[in-house]
Amino acid sequence: MFLLRPAKPVEGPGGTFLCKFVGSSLLCRTKAQILFSIMGLMTVNRPLLVALFISLLVFTPLSIHLLFAQTQGPQRVPVPVPPPAKRSPQGKKDRSGLPPVPVFKDIAKDVGLTAVHIAAPEAHYVIDSTSGGVGLFDCDDDGRLDVVLINGSTVERFRAGGDPLVTLYHQEPDGTFKDITKEAGLTRRGWGMGVAVADYDNDGKLDLFVTGFGGSALYHGLGNCKFEDVTEKAGVGGSGFMTGAAWGDYDRDGFVDLFVSRYSHLDMNNLPQFGSNKFCRFKGILVQCGPWGLEGESDFLYHNRGDGTFEEVSVKAGVHDDIGYYGLGVMWVDYDDDGWPDLLVANDSVPNYLYHNNHNGTFTDMGMLTGVALSGEGMELGNMGVDWGDYDHSGRLSFFVTHFEEQPNSLYRNTGPHGFDDVSWTSAVGQPSYPYVGWGTAFFDMDNDTWLDILVANGHVYPQIDTLETGPRFREPLLLHRNNRDGTFDEVSKESGLAALPLHSRRGAAFGDVFNTGNIDVLLLNVGEPPSLLKNKNASGYHRVLFKLIGTKSNRAAIGARVTIRAAGVKQFSEVHGGASYLSQNDLRLHFGLGTAAKMESVEIRWPSGKIETLQNVAADAIYTIVEGSGIRSTTPLPPPAGGATNGAH
C-alpha cells in the first residue's frame, strides 16, 4: 500500500531485508521481522484488532491525502528547515590559535587555461546540467601536473556529431599551460561528462578514461602526453548517460578495474520537453525535466582481464543498480580498513550505495545499514560529489557528500563497526551549504596544520532561477570550511578571498599541488565558461610532504594504496584514488600537512597487494617517489614553507 517505488531486497547481516518506500521514507525489515509481525496480529485479542481497524479508518484518508500531496510536489525531496546551530554566533570560539586562512587567487587566465566549457545557456534538458569534471595528472611524467578539462556539448551539437570530449593542457616549465589536445590524440567527439586516471595496463604511462553521454573513451597513454584511443578494443565504450567513473582493483589481482555510474535514460530524438509536466517545474517556474519522472539507468563494472580488455561484470558482482538510481559521483574507498576497496555511488535524489567488498568478486550494499544512504533525518537527498577523509584524527575515513539546494551538504562521521553518524549540522558544514547546489569537493589540508579542511564548488542547475526576484542564482559562491580541530568547521570563504571572486555555476573540482609548492590548489569547471584555477597562497609556515607511489606487484599507479604517517605523535592517513569529487581526478600524489613537525617518525605504505612497507625518520618538505618493494627512489625538495606561523599545529 502507498508504495511509490517497488520493494527492493537488500542483503544484510540479518538476512534479506525488504525495503519499501512509504511516503518519502524508506523502511527496511527482515523477513523474520515481517513474519513475527504477522504472527503477532494473528494472536492479538479482539478489542485490539477493533482499535487497529478504527485507526486505519481514521488515518487512511489522511495518508492518501499526504501521498497525493507528495506526488504533486516539487521533483526534489525537500528537507526540514535547518535547526539552529549548536553554538550561538556570539559563542564562536577563539580561533587565534589557528594559522591564518590561506588566500586563494584565480589564476586560470594568467596561466593560459582559457578553454570555454560548451553548454546551452538555457539548459532546457537535464543533460545540459551534469557536465562536467576536471582532472590533474602528469601525462609526461616530468613532475609537473597537467590539466584535463571536460568540454561539454549541447543537444544540437551532439546531434551533429558532438564536441571533442576533453581539452588537455600541458604545464610548461614556466607554469603556463599549452593546449595539446590534438597532438595528444584526444580527438573523440561526443558529450563529455567526467574523467578518471589510472595505469590500467601497468606500463608506467598513465591512462585516461572519459565518461560521456552515448559513449565513453579510454585513452591509452603512450608517454610524453600522447594517447591512443583504445575504447573499442578494451570494450569500455558503454552506452547511455554515463557520468561518474572510478578506477579500483577490487579483486586485488594487480590490474585496476573500472566502475561507471549512469544517470537517467534519455532518447535524444524524443527528449522530455522543457516545462511540459509536473516534473519540469521549480518554485513556480518552468524548468528542465528530471531527474524525477525519468527512467533511471543501471551502472557498469568493468573487470580488467589484464590483456588490455575488460569484461562488464556488474550483475554478477552485485553492483548493477537494476533499480536505476540516478548515479553521479563515485569513489572506491576502503572505508572499513579491511584491505579491500569498497565502492560508494552517490545517487541524485535517491539513496546512495555503499557497496562493501565481499573479497570474492561480489559486493553487498551497506548504504542503509551503515547510515550513508540517507540523511540522518531519513531523507533522500540530491547526492552529487563525494570524498572521504580522516577529518577528526579518529583513524577512520569519514564521508562527505554535496547536495542540492535547500539541503545541507552532509558529513557522515565514521564510528567504526557501528556505521556512520550524520554530523552535518553539529559540525556546521550543513548550515552554510543549505541554499546552494553543491558539486565538486574534497577534504584537503589547505593550511598544512594536519587537519583536513573542505572546499565545495556550487552552481544551480536551472538558469531560469535568475528570473525569480529572490532566492538562489544560477551562479553561486564557493564554500571553504576550515577545520576547527574539535569536530566543527568555520566557513571562511570571505577570509580566503574566495567570496570576492566572480560567481560561476561550477561543477567538477580537482585538488592537487599544481606548482609543487607544498600547498593544494583547486581546479574548477565553470559551466559555459573558462575554468578557474585557485592558487593556494597559504602562508602558515607549516611543514608538509607529498608521496608519489609506484606499484610493482600492485597496480602501477598504486590506486588504493594507503599511506599512514606519524609526525610529532600525530597519525594521519590517506588513500590514492582514481576518480573522486564530482566526476573529477585529483592529484594522484598524497599530500600531508605536518604542522610544526620537520620530520615524520614513520611512514607506512600499505600497497594494494597487501604488502606493508615502513620507513623511519623521513624529513618533511619534499616530494618522495616510493616504489613498491624498494622504498624511496627519488626525492624532490619543496621550497621552504612560506610564512612564519609558529602556533602549535596539533
Binding footprint of Ca ion on the chain (CB under 5 A): 138, 140, 142, 144, 146, 199, 201, 203, 205, 207, 221, 249, 251, 253, 255, 257, 445, 447, 449, 451, 453
Q: Which is nearer to Ca ion, 449 or 491 (CB)?
A: 449
Amino acid code (one letter) for 570: V
Q: Is the dihedral of CA 456, 370, 345, 76 positive or negative?
A: negative
- Closest separation between CB of residue 101 and Ca ion, Å? 10
Q: Which is nearer to Ca ion, 249 or 342 (CB)?
A: 249
**DSSP-derived secondary structure letter, 90:** G
- Closest separation between CB of residue 275 and Ca ion, Å? 45
d(CA 297, CA 328): 11
Q: Which is nearer to Ca ion, 216 or 349 (CB)?
A: 216
The number of beta carbons lying within 10 Å of the beta carbon of residue 210 is 29
Q: In what order do the strands lie in the sheet with 207-213?
A: 163-164, 189-198, 207-213, 217-223, 226-229
**DSSP-derived secondary structure letter, 464:** G
- Closest separation between CB of residue 136 and Ca ion, Å? 10
- Closest separation between CB of residue 548 and Ca ion, Å? 12
- Closest separation between CB of residue 415 and Ca ion, Å? 22
- Closest separation between CB of residue 562 and Ca ion, Å? 17
Q: Which is nearer to Ca ion, 453 or 513 (CB)?
A: 453
Q: Which is nearer to Ca ion, 483 or 526 (CB)?
A: 483
Helix, strand, coil share of the chain (percent; to 5): 15, 35, 50
d(CA 161, CA 354): 36
The number of beta carbons lying within 10 Å of the beta carbon of residue 176 is 13
Query: Does residue 291 have a cis bond before it (omega within 30 degrees)?
Result: yes
- Closest separation between CB of residue 171 and Ca ion, Å? 5
- Closest separation between CB of residue 566 and Ca ion, Å? 18
Cα–Cα distance list, 50 to 55, 60, 265 (Å): 9, 15, 47
Residue 603: what are its φ and ψ, rounded to 5°? -130, 115
- Closest separation between CB of residue 496 and Ca ion, Å? 12
Cα–Cα distance list, 649 to 287, 303, 344, 523 (Å): 48, 43, 32, 27
Half-sphere exposure of 560 (CA within 13 A, CB side): 32
- Closest separation between CB of residue 573 and Ca ion, Å? 15
Cα–Cα distance list, 532 to 94, 181, 437, 441, 522 (Å): 33, 19, 18, 14, 8
From the number of C-beta atoms within 10 Å of its C-beta (0-12, 13-18, 19+), residue 30 rates as: middle
d(CA 451, CA 532): 25
Beta-carbon contacts of residue 470 (< 8 Å; ≥ 6 apart): none
Query: What is the rounded end-to-end Cα distance, in angstroms, of the chain?
Result: 55
Q: Which is nearer to Ca ion, 251 or 390 (CB)?
A: 251
- Closest separation between CB of residue 572 and Ca ion, Å? 11
Cα–Cα distance list, 330 to 237, 347, 429 (Å): 18, 9, 21
